Amino acid sequence: MKLAKRIFLFLAVNFLVVITISLILNLLGVRPYLQAYGIDYTSLALFCLVWGMGGAFISLALSRQMAKWLMGVRIIPANSSDPQMQKLVGMVYRLAEEAGLPAMPEVGVYDAAEVNAFATGPTKKKALVAVSTGLLHRLTPGQLEAVLAHEISHISNGDMVTMTLIQGVVNAFVMFLARVLAYAFSGLGRRDESSSGSVMSYTIMVFVFEILFMILGSLVVAAFSRWREFRADAGGARLAGRDRMIGALEALGASMGIHDERHEKPSFEALKISTRSKSGLLRLFASHPPIEERIARLRNIA
3-state secondary structure of 118: strand
pLDDT 10s digits, 78-88: 888 999 999 99
Residue 22 — pLDDT band, cuts 50, 70, 90?
low
pLDDT at residue 3 greater than cutoff 80: no
Per-domain boundaries in the chain: 2-299
- Residue 69's pLDDT is what? 85
3-state secondary structure of 220: helix
Query: Which residues, in sequence order, are bridge partners of residue 118?
Result: 130, 272
Residue 67 — pLDDT band, cuts 50, 70, 90?
confident
3-state secondary structure of 182: helix
- Residue 45's pLDDT is what? 83
**Lowest-pLDDT range, 86-95, 185-194, 237-246, 249-258?**
185-194
pLDDT at residue 263 greater than cutoff 60: no
- Residue 105's pLDDT is what? 95
pLDDT at residue 1 greater than cutoff 50: no
Q: How far is CA 285 from CA 59, 84, 153, 211, 282, in A?
A: 21, 37, 23, 15, 5
> What are the catalytic residues?
151
From 263, 261, 262, 287, select the one nearest 273 (Cα to Cα). 287
- Residue 58's pLDDT is what? 84
**Lowest-pLDDT range, 139-143, 185-189, 203-207?**
185-189
Helix axes 242-254, 141-156, angle to 10 degrees: 100
Cβ atoms 159, 273 nearer than 8 A: no
**Lowest-pLDDT range, 63-72, 83-92, 101-110, 214-223?**
63-72
Residue 79 burial class via C-beta count within 10 angstroms: exposed 0-12, middle 13-18, buried 19 and up: exposed
From 273, 268, 238, select the one nearest 134 (Cα to Cα). 273
- In this prediction, residues 199-218 reach a mean pLDDT of 89
Specify the DSSP element, H or E, that contains 161. helix 159-186
126: Cβ–Cβ under 8 A, 6 or more apart, which residues? Answer: 64, 103
Specify the DSSP element, H or E, that contains 110. strand 106-110
pTM of the model: 0.85
Query: Which residues, in sequence order, are bridge partners of residue 128?
Result: 106, 120
Residue 4 — pLDDT band, cuts 50, 70, 90?
low
Helix axes 196-240, 141-156, angle to 10 degrees: 130
Average pLDDT over the chain reads 84
Other beta carbons less than 10 A from residue 159's beta carbon: 22
Other beta carbons less than 10 A from residue 121's beta carbon: 22
Residue 258 burial class via C-beta count within 10 angstroms: exposed 0-12, middle 13-18, buried 19 and up: middle
253/33 Cα distance (integer angstroms)? 50
pLDDT at residue 32 greater than cutoff 90: no
- In this prediction, residues 106-132 reach a mean pLDDT of 93
pLDDT at residue 9 greater than cutoff 90: no
60/122 Cα distance (integer angstroms)? 5
pLDDT at residue 25 greater than cutoff 70: no
112/275 Cα distance (integer angstroms)? 14
pLDDT 10s digits, 144-199: 999 999 999 999 999 999 999 999 899 889 988 888 888 888 777 665 544 556 77
Q: How many residues does the chain have?
A: 302
Residue 46 — pLDDT band, cuts 50, 70, 90?
confident
248/200 Cα distance (integer angstroms)? 54
